[in-house]
């Protein structure tokens, strides 16, 4: 492998890792406040791509307005899912909410297949993102440059919200101790909705950029990235935003590089994430940046 | 008390005999399509019971069932396919000489399929069952996906993504329901014995169970391995019912379907699972009319393919949201419940009877 192709793979891995990171943050934040694997997160990500597709084909708007509208719609949808499917079950055992999450994901997938059609759709990409940039002999598609930059900006905004604002402080409080936060007069329902909003907005950003990168939409496209990004969150240490980002990048890097260096492993590409997950769970179950917690009796 | 016990025993045997006679009649009366649904019911009873053993009775959360079913289905199918059909199937790459000429009857093939699935379950359970709750769920989901991808890539053994076709259709109503009845009886006796009590203790509180001297990890592995065996046998039955299998069949949507049967029937209820398996299998077939055009006389609603699954998943969400405990909760349907007149007469002075009826109300 020449250095040029290596750098091309590196750019690809960085942009894939960024997308994984954006999605993984949603998982990690929801898990932080509710201790719930939001199985529907991958499907919310899928909806973002279809929102963008349909707004772009029906309304006359500049592309950035289309994307922003799609992302906002996705955020609202995430909040609605929480209100309808998770909130009524909050006092039930955790298994019930998880089953509800599986049910929602099942429903969204089936509904999307009926409404959007099962056949893949082609996403038309604005020229800005499909250009090629040359760095010496290394050719990089512009979208692969945009994705890490946008992700970085999103991350800065998110960290600001979580660490510097009052709502962010309440979020951290809820994730540290749900009941104590409620006793401290924090409006837990509002904070949970806000968490879902943030997570789904980021999933929306990720979804739109995903369709810019891969240009193909399918109703079931959210399942695999969804699972992998939950795994990325676990690898990084669930509940930690930095960990989710780290996990996302590690996963993106491994997937692209393993296939680049060992072309024979192409068929096994979707397995790397799961193997990595099982290794991490056995060696360091709290994840790379997570805090381990002992069992309280 | 001994009297009612004896009566219950007689009633159970009578019901069993009645069911067998009924199956015999069905087999003669109904067309193959309807019988296929009956077969599916039986297979889903076995599969849902095995998932309920892990999720309902032992209180773990496994989402790996599709993987074990795939192992059972592939192993048993490879053992019953005739060498000639195998040669036809493997046109991309020839099958390994080890398997090319093996052929055996259905029962040993099914059992070997189940045993291999159980062995895989043991290999997976050993490391993974140390995890809890949602971590366990995602790890088992991961393993079932790994199994599927490995099957897709082992071209010379499993025929890869082309799948296996022309599997002899051995599964009839006797096989599917015979094994289902064996599975039901096995579960009933397992849950009555010391193992069942240990499983339930782990479900309620595994730290407390450990303190009481229950070997938690050993029992968890045992429950997982038994369930994998049953899943493998169920997968084998399914393969020999459909006649063709391919890796895409065993995606995690299959696990979800079985999980939903368990949820609807009540997590931790044998009778609930049996009823739900029948209801859901029949309902998914009954809802098939939604996919075609609906003729209302004056006008025709054009059918939308896939509508069936949407309605199905909405119904399911309603159960999850408004009917948390499912059909049976974690109770069992008993003869006492079915014969309320005699129960109230026999138990009126018993204070526990009122407690029971209160428990039933929620």
pLDDT digits (tens, 9 = 90+) for B18-35: 888 888 888 778 887 888
Evaluate if residue A6 carries a pLDDT over 50. Answer: yes
Per-residue pLDDT band at B340 (split at 50, 70, 90): low
How far A34 CA sits from the closest chain B CA (Å)?
12
Is the minimum CB–CB distance between A131 and chain B shorter than 8 Å? no
Distance CA A297, CA B247 (A): 43
With 50 as the cut, is the pLDDT of residue B344 above it? Answer: no
Query: B238-249 in b/e burial notation, b at 16+ Cβ within 10 A?
Result: bbbbbeebbbeb
pLDDT at B353 over 60: no
ipTM over 0.85: no
Cβ-nearest to B259 among A102, A268, A282: A102
| Contact check, Cβ <8 Å, A37/B316 | no
CA closest to A89 among chain B residues = B321
Q: State residue B204's pLDDT score.
A: 87
Nearest-Cα residue of chain B relative to residue A223: B252
| Residue B343, pLDDT score | 47
- The confidence band for B183, taking pLDDT boundaries of 50, 70 and 90, is very high
Is the pLDDT confidence value at B56 over 50? yes
Per residue in A65-101, pLDDT tens?
889 999 999 999 999 999 988 888 888 877 788 888 8
Say which residue the tokens 């810019």 belong to.
A212
Establish if A85 touches chain B: CB-CB under 8 angstroms: yes
- The reported pLDDT for the residue numbered A72 is 94
Max mean pLDDT range (A6-10, A89-93, B307-311):
A6-10
Q: Does A271 touch chain B (CB under 8 A)?
A: yes
- A80 lies within 8 A of chain B by CB: no
**Closest CB to A85 among B134, B146, B321:** B321
Judge whether A98 is closer than 8 Å to chain B, CB to CB: yes
**Average pLDDT, stretch B316-340?**
75
Host H or E run for residue A163: helix A142-164
Looking at per-residue pLDDT, the higher value among B284 and A297 belongs to B284
Residue A284: pLDDT band by 50, 70, 90 thresholds? confident
Distances (CA, A) of B267 to B55, B63, B232, B258, B321: 7, 14, 21, 12, 15
pLDDT value at position B297? 65
Q: Is the pLDDT of residue A42 over 80?
A: yes
The string of pLDDT tens digits covering residues B223-267 is 999 999 999 999 999 999 998 999 988 988 888 889 888 888 888
Residue A248 · residue A18 · CB < 8 Å: yes
Cα–Cα distance for residue pair A156/B138, rounded to 1 Å: 30
Domains and CATH numbers, chain B: 34-340 (1.10.3470)
Which residues in chain A have their CB less than 8 angstroms from residue B152's CB?
267
- Asked if the model's pLDDT at residue B349 lies above 60, the reply is no
Least confident window among A245-249, B72-76, B347-351:
B347-351
* Selected residue with higher pLDDT from B357 and B67: B67
Q: Could you tell me if A39 lies within 8 Å of chain B, comparing CB atoms? A: no
Residue pair A279/A238 in contact (Cβ under 8 Å)? The answer is no
Residue A287 has pLDDT above 50, yes or no: yes
Neighbouring C-alpha atoms within 13 Å toward the C-beta of B134: 22
pLDDT grade for B66, boundaries at 50, 70 and 90 = very high
Query: What's the mean pLDDT in A233-259?
Result: 89
User: Using 50, 70 and 90 to split pLDDT, how confident is the model at A293?
Assistant: low
Mutate to test the interface with A, among B138, B151, B319 (most CBs of A within 10 A): B138
When CB atoms are compared, the residue of B133, B306, B313 closest to A107 is: B313
pLDDT in the model for residue A266: 77
Yes or no, beta carbons of B316 and A103 under 8 Å apart = yes
Query: Is B57 in CB contact (< 8 Å) with chain A?
Result: no
CA distance A171 to A188: 9
A-proximal residues of B, 14-43, CB under 8 Å? none
Of the candidates B55, B306, B321, which has its C-beta nearest A114's C-beta? B306
Query: What are the pLDDT digits (tens) for A140-186?
Result: 888 888 899 999 999 999 999 988 999 989 988 888 888 888 888 88
Interface contact A113, partner B, CB < 8 A:
yes
Rounded-to-integer distance, Cα B72 and Cα B111, Å: 9
Chain B environment of A36 (Cβ under 8 Å)? 134
- The overall average pLDDT reported for chain A is 86
Query: Phi and psi of B352, rounded to 5°?
Result: -70, -20
Q: What are the residues whose beta carbons fall under 8 Å from the beta carbon of B164, sequence distance 6 or more?
A: B74, B77, B78, B81, B89, B158, B239, B244, B245, B246
pLDDT at position B44 over 90: yes
When pLDDT is cut at 50, 70 and 90, the band that residue B358 belongs to is: very low
Q: What residues of B are in contact with residue A110 (Cβ under 8 Å)?
A: 306, 309-310, 312-313
| % of chain B surpassing 70 pLDDT | 88
Instruction: For residue A18, name the pLDDT band (cuts at 50, 70, 90).
Output: very high
Say if A270 is an interface residue toward chain B (CB within 8 Å): yes
- How far apart CA A108 and CA A141 sit, in angstroms, is 32
Give whole-number Cα distances, A144 to A8, A129, A130, B75, B239, in Å: 10, 8, 9, 44, 44
């Amino acid at each position: 492998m020449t250095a040029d192709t290596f750098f091309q793979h590196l750019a690809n891995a960085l942009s894939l890792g960024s997308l994984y990171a954006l999605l993984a943050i949603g998982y990690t934040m929801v898990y932080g406040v509710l201790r719930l694997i939001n199985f529907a997160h991958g499907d919310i990500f899928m909806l973002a791509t279809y929102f963008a597709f349909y707004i772009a084909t029906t309304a006359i708007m500049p592309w950035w307005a289309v994307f922003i509208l799609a992302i906002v719609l996705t955020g609202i949808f995430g909040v609605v899912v929480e209100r309808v499917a998770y909130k009524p079950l909050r006092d039930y055992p955790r298994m019930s909410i998880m089953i509800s999450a599986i049910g929602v994901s099942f429903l969204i997938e089936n509904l999307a297949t009926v409404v959007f059609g099962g056949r893949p759709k082609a996403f038309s990409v604005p020229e800005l993102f499909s250009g090629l940039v040359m760095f010496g002999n290394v050719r990089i598609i512009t979208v692969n440059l945009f994705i890490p930059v946008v992700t970085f900006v999103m991350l800065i905004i998110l960290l600001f919200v979580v660490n510097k604002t009052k709502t962010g402080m309440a979020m951290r409080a809820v994730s540290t101790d749900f009941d104590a936060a409620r006793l401290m007069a924090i409006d837990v329902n509002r904070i949970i909705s806000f968490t879902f909003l943030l997570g789904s907005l980021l999933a929306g950003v990720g979804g739109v950029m995903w369709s810019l990168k891969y240009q193909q939409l399918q109703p079931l496209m959210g399942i695999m990235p969804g699972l992998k990004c939950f795994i990325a969150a676990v690898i990084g240490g669930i509940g930690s935003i930095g960990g989710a980002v780290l996990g996302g990048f590690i996963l993106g890097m491994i997937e692209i590089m393993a296939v680049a260096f060992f072309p024979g492993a192409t068929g096994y590409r979707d397995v790397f994430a799961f193997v990595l997950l099982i290794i991490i769970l056995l060696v360091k179950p709290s994840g790379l940046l997570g805090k381990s917690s002992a069992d309280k009796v | 008390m001994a009297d009612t016990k004896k009566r219950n025993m007689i009633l159970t045997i009578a019901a069993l005999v009645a069911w067998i006679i009924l199956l015999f009649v069905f087999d003669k009366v109904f067309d193959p399509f309807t019988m296929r649904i009956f077969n599916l019911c039986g297979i889903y009873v076995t599969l849902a019971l095995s998932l309920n053993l892990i999720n309902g009775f032992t209180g773990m959360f496994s989402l790996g069932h599709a993987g074990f079913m795939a192992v059972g289905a592939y192993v048993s199918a490879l053992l019953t396919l005739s060498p000639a059909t195998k040669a036809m199937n493997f046109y991309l790459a020839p099958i390994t000489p080890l398997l090319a000429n093996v052929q055996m009857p259905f029962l040993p093939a099914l059992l070997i399929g189940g045993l291999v699935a159980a062995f895989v379950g043991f290999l997976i359970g050993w490391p993974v069952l140390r995890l809890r709750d949602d971590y366990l769920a995602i790890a088992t989901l991961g393993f079932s996906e790994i199994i599927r991808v490995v099957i897709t890539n082992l071209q010379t053994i499993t025929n890869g993504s082309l799948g296996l076709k022309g599997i002899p259709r051995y599964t009839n109503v006797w096989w599917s329901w015979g094994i289902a009845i064996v599975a039901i009886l096995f579960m009933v006796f397992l849950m009555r014995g010391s193992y069942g009590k240990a499983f339930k203790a782990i479900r309620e509180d595994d730290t407390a169970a450990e303190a009481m001297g229950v070997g938690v990890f050993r029992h968890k592995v045992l429950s997982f391995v038994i369930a994998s065996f049953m899943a493998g046998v169920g997968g084998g039955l399914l393969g020999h019912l459909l006649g063709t299998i391919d890796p895409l069949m065993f995606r995690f949507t299959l696990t979800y379907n079985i999980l939903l049967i368990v949820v609807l029937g009540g997590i931790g209820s044998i009778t609930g699972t049996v009823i739900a398996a029948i209801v859901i299998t029949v309902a998914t077939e009954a809802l098939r009319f939604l996919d075609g055009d609906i003729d209302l006389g004056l006008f025709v609603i054009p059918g939308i393919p896939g509508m069936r699954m949407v309605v199905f998943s909405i119904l399911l969400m309603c159960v999850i949201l408004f009917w948390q405990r499912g059909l049976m909760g974690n109770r069992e349907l008993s003869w006492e419940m079915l014969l309320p007149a005699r129960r109230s007469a026999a138990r009126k002075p018993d204070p526990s009877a009122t407690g029971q009826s209160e428990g039933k109300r929620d």
